[in-house]
A = this chain, B = another copy of it.
């Protein structure tokens, strides 16, 4: 801090305090603040400078704790995976409801942090993150105790995960669009309507499907659509049981 600006009246009050006034700067702190920034303003707003600023630090200070921006994001993502709940009920016969709850938890987590959608495709799944491994192991356990053929449990798992992430990703992308436009979901749908109708002009089935959904609560429709697909996937998996 010894560098001198043309600052006029340097005094005890303007001069930075000696010593580390904050508990310094830690990887956990950085990731936590990054998450706050991401949740508030989305993926585009995350820059090393802004993040450093929020922590009362310079941009390049962060590099002492994190190799680069990509690694920071990887850490943030796995931190989020920590929010996913996988609870196994005592009776393995309840595997369907367990899996259902788990799938909803995964979806809800993604929708709570829609910026995830933008990075999942560049990251795969950061398969080796500790929190994700915890989730996979728990779900794998759920499936095997439900007497899923041992060699199949992992494939069943990735089937379900693919469905949930695929669905939630496209929902999250839509939420991102909403957030950027600042509109309410209901009114955004209404505004998109004419464009959609025109685009679907030569496609009778699509047009009918659209007009059937007109007026329904879009959020509820998303939820119901998710549940429908989830039920189908679980139906499909169930055929392999026993």
User: Which of A's residues lie within 8 Å of B, judged by CB?
Assistant: 116-125, 127-128, 130, 133-134, 136-137, 140-141, 144, 151-156, 158-159, 161-167, 169-170, 172-174, 176-177, 195-196, 199-200, 203-206, 209, 212, 225, 228-229, 231-237, 239-240
Contacts and interface: CB of A to CB of B under 8 A. Distances in A.
Contact of A140 (B116, B117, B199, B205): B205
Contacts of A134: 203
A151 B174 CA distance: 23
A232 B237 contact: yes
A15 to B, nearest CB: 43
A165 to B, nearest CB: 5
A239 B176 CA distance: 34
Given A141-B205, A166-B165, A169-B121, A159 B229 contact: yes
A133 B210 CA distance: 12
Contact of A195 (B119, B128, B162, B236): B128
Given A123-B173, A166-B163, A199 B133 contact: yes
Contacts of A153: 205, 209
A196 B117 contact: no
Contacts of A119: 121
Contact of A233 (B128, B154, B163): B163
A122 B174 CA distance: 8
Contact of A203 (B137, B167, B234): B137
13 contacts: A121-B169, A122-B176, A137-B205, A140-B205, A153-B205, A155-B225, A158-B167, A159-B167, A159-B228, A163-B229, A232-B236, A235-B235, A235-B239
Contact of A177 (B124, B161, B199, B225): B124
Nearest to A150: B208
A200 B162 contact: no
B158 A162 contact: no
B128 A117 contact: no
Contact of A158 (B127, B137, B151, B225): B225
